[in-house]
Amino acid sequence: MTVTSGGPLQGQSVIVAIGPSVSFETSNGTGTGPANLQYISVGDQVEIYPASTSGTSPVLAAGVVDDTVHTGG
């Protein structure tokens, strides 16, 4: 994914690591764990909440929000 928000990774392409305790918010509700990735489609705009702000890749996610939840798309 390419980072479009501000911060040390702005404009860079990064890999995001999803662990079993990552929280998800998708159009199918909320939950935790990699199984929730099935509700995120290629091309969806997502917000990644990093577990660390060290500015390195891969980024370890603490939370993922599928923006289609908030935009109705």
DSSP, collapsed to helix, strand or coil, labels residue 28 as coil
**Residue 28 belongs to what domain range?**
16-71
Q: Give per-residue pLDDT as tens, 8-34.
A: 778 888 888 888 888 888 888 888 877
The number of folded domains in the chain is 1
pTM (global) more than 0.75? no
In a domain, 32, yes or no: yes
In a domain, 10, yes or no: no
Amino acid found at 48: I
In a domain, 34, yes or no: yes
In a domain, 55, yes or no: yes
DSSP percent split of the chain into helix, strand, coil, nearest 5: 15, 35, 50
In a domain, 7, yes or no: no
Give the pLDDT confidence score for residue 70 in this predicted structure.
57
In a domain, 3, yes or no: no
